[in-house]
Amino acid sequence: MVKSNSKKAFDFFFDQEELIETDYLCQERLNSLAYVAEYCSSVVTRIDGDANPLKVIDVGCGTGHLLLGLSNRLQEPVRLYGLDFSDSAIRLSRRLVPSAQLVVASVYEIPHPVGSFDMVTCTETLEHLQRPEEALEEMLRVLKPGGQLIVTVPDGAMDEWDGHVSFWSAAELRHLLLPYGVQHVAPLPLGGDLLARATKHGGCPMPGAKREMPLEVLPPQ
């Protein structure tokens, strides 16, 4: 249904509410999103101090279930944001997380200023993109120095779905994220996905100036 990776296809997909509720939002997916939300809450840092709201954006937020998990776990004060290029997905997200500030927008043109967020999350999105490096550059742009970028993708060593454009093993995902301050790459314990965390440093280079960064690669739990 969404093999074309087009906005029209995803709008149609997220309009199939019975399919979304029964098939797409299976317990395994919900458990995985809950795990990611818990991980995010354990590593997020309020860059500007405790007096300022924590600001987190989910890029490619889909149905909004990761935002819901974050809202249940992150300590106040917190401001949650989300974007998706699918109008139908944003409609579902607004219903699920009415407190979040949600917008229909492109991952390549995030409508927020430089250094807006303490954390940027992007789950199960990069594998659908023709230009994942450009999307990562844009996510890094809106992230504050010292902020955390959390990414999940299917494990390319096992992923064979022909609707995906890009495929990364753990080592390949590490290489992709080298310019962005990669700190951690590990399999998710609840299925065939990889989770990666990068920390934006004040002098973090843009692509074209790759450098080695510390990396923690963990076995499945």
The token duo for 46 is 């309020």
Instruction: pLDDT band for 43, please (50, 70, 90 cuts).
Output: very high
Collect all residues with Cβ–Cβ distance below 8 Å to 204 and sequence separation of at least 6: 140, 145, 179, 180, 181
The token duo for 138 is 């844009």
Nearest to 140 by CA among 106, 181, 100: 181
Q: What is the pLDDT of residues 145-196, one digit of tens each?
A: 999 999 999 988 777 767 787 889 999 999 999 999 999 999 998 778 999 9
CB 154 within 8 A of CB 191: no
CB 196 within 8 A of CB 40: no
Q: In 3-state terms, what secondary structure has residue 200?
A: coil
User: Which residue segments constitute the domains of the chain, with CATH numbers given?
Assistant: 7-205 (3.40.50.150)
DSSP bridge pairs for 123: 152
Q: What is the pLDDT of residues 15-27, one digit of tens each?
A: 998 999 888 888 8
If you search the block for the tokens 């280079």, which residue do you land on?
205
pTM exceeds 0.85 = yes
Q: What is the DSSP letter of 113?
A: -
